[in-house]
Structure 1
């Protein structure tokens, strides 16, 4: 940065104005080279929009870590989808104008949104526990499936995982359990909700409108059945991690509470799928939810507790690093408050 070091300590206003364009140009050139280099090694941006954002030099860290009592938590960005929306996937029972107004009020585009996918690693009680597995090898052509790569950058290999928890059995949570037809995490046992597994493997579901997803469950999850533990409300994964029913998004969807040394954290999975559309308007229906009305009741119950008890939470689709708090609003909704420095965070590159 020789251009910068040659600038006099004090500049007249006229001299500063003459120097500024050159300095900005130099910084832009450097930022461009850094941005292109970083993306070439580990591209966090959906390939479909790469050309449209190249000038913005956007870079996203792949993982972040923090301590919670004696536990060590690492969130990992498996990928981010850039697309149209959020309407009608979110607010499908409302009008496009209502959704547009909500987005404008929150400084968001009216017809474009970004959806992240964030598995979570928890080191606790001599276990390395992975919550959800992302898109795996099938998603890499679309810029997803970065979990294993970014776990490696964070210091973990797939063989180190001792427990894989599947919060529910939608594709973006289960596609990473297998690689090349074999378990991606060879030393792990598996945990999911009993009701969730029963529903996806039932004849009704296998022959119903979600038959394609049920086929994925049959191919990827059923072969692991002998290594699986099936949870009910209030069961524990290990001491300090408790499962709770959070039905609606899927019939057996579960959330998990982590407690260590008096500190707590909720892993809310897909209870809310968007930090504004699902949280500020929890009563608006979401297209991903199998039972929209039950999902609404669950959203309110889970986030009422998180807000009242001021518990930090990690949401699978919250803005990366997916950690934050929920503030209860007067109209019954919630404001997502991103984590800043409340927790001691380490991240890629820090």
Structure 2
């Protein structure tokens, strides 16, 4: 089965025979904070969804170096879980059951930690794409994390709530807009918003990382002098996003702004010697090193 760009953007892109990631998780600590990366499975993406607008001749050796299949990329989906005393903070909610069959494995991963949705005290949203928020609802369309405060950047919430978004986002992404609006409306009573630069929870600082979506947010987790950046999809893969962060990606809604965001984040993370967790990076957790004209991702959870 060939996965097309339209299949993906309609939320139909499942490829038979491609195994989903299991409910694996790996943990680390930041002072007295416990941080785990939880697998929600993986996506199946046509390569052109990412590579389409890039300089193709210069791209070819990178594709070869990382042994990428341009017909079907299968990026992991890794959510971040922070535990600190009574707080159980989940960054994003995964894809749920309605996006791609290879994703939506979060509850299995949580079960491996003896956690249930009722244990989650806060859900922090990086942005409103399907693999990040379609898991907010259960099989009956009710809030899955019903005991949790749901936090989302004000600009991101306004974008998905805007009735004009479905008409301006582009035909191929209209399903994203419809799905995001419905889910955010369903959790409206649980929602609170924040702005760039706010400490939304103790030790959790919001950083505007616009471009992938209009209001995308990253989060700096800090304990004393130690820090880790949860980058969501602002750094969306382990290959081109590091090797050539200034290149446009077809996965970003505003490619120029997203490239500037990547460059800024990578510079900050390396300059301050921070670790990072990326939603689609192998194992989620790792470090960044400068290499030639760009950077390289050094995973800690291989």
Sort the TM-score into its range (normalised by shorter chain).
0.7 to 0.9
Q: Give the Cα separation in 2 of the matches to 1:216 and 1:119.
A: 20
Q: What SS does the corresponding residue of 1:328 show, helix, strand or coil?
A: strand
Q: CA deviation at 1:82?
A: 4.3
- Structure 1 residues 177, 304: closer, same or farther in 2, change over 3 A? same
Matched, 1:337 2:293: no
Q: CA deviation at 1:285?
A: 1.0
Match of 1:65 in 2: 27
Q: Give the Cα separation in 2 of the matches to 1:238 and 1:164.
A: 11
Q: Give the Cα separation in 2 of the matches to 1:62 and 1:248.
A: 30
Q: Give the Cα separation in 2 of the matches to 1:222 and 1:313.
A: 31
- Structure 1 residues 109, 207: closer, same or farther in 2, change over 3 A? closer
Q: Give the Cα separation in 1 of the matches to 2:34 and 2:103.
A: 25
Written as runs of structure 1 = structure 2, the 5 A alignment for 1:131-210 is 131-139=91-99, 142-179=101-138, 180-208=140-168, 209=170, 210=173
Aligned 8 A contact 1:91 1:284 in 2: no
Q: What is the aligned length?
A: 285
Q: CA deviation at 1:310?
A: 1.2
Q: Give the Cα separation in 2 of the matches to 1:170 and 1:340.
A: 25
Q: Give the Cα separation in 2 of the matches to 1:47 and 1:156.
A: 30
Per-residue CA shift, 1:13-59, capped at 9, x if unaligned? xxxxxxxxxxxxxxxxxxxxxxxxxxxxxxxxx87225xx8xxxx98
Q: Give the Cα separation in 1 of the matches to 2:86 and 2:73.
A: 39
TM-score by length of 2: 0.87
Aligned 8 A contact 1:104 1:110 in 2: no
Match of 1:345 in 2: none
Q: CA deviation at 1:309?
A: 1.2
Match of 1:105 in 2: 65
Aligned 8 A contact 1:116 1:318 in 2: yes
Q: CA deviation at 1:215?
A: 1.4
Q: What SS does the corresponding residue of 1:255 show, helix, strand or coil?
A: strand
Match of 1:81 in 2: 43
Per-residue CA shift, 1:284-334, capped at 9, x if unaligned? 111121111000100000110001111000000001x21111112331x21
Aligned 8 A contact 2:23 2:41 in 1: no
Q: What SS does the corresponding residue of 1:118 show, helix, strand or coil?
A: strand
Aligned 8 A contact 2:286 2:298 in 1: yes
Per-residue CA shift, 1:48-99, capped at 9, x if unaligned? 225xx8xxxx9856111222111111111101134542xx223433344432
Q: Give the Cα separation in 1 of the matches to 2:83 and 2:156.
A: 25
**Out of 262, 268, 285, which is 1:299 matched to?**
262
- Structure 1 residues 107, 143: closer, same or farther in 2, change over 3 A? closer
- 5+ residue gaps, structure 1, are 1-45, 342-350
- 5+ residue gaps, structure 2, are 1-13
Greater helix content: 1
Q: CA deviation at 1:149?
A: 1.6
Written as runs of structure 1 = structure 2, the 5 A alignment for 1:234-313 is 234-313=197-276
Match of 2:16 in 1: 48
Q: What SS does the corresponding residue of 2:249 show, helix, strand or coil?
A: coil
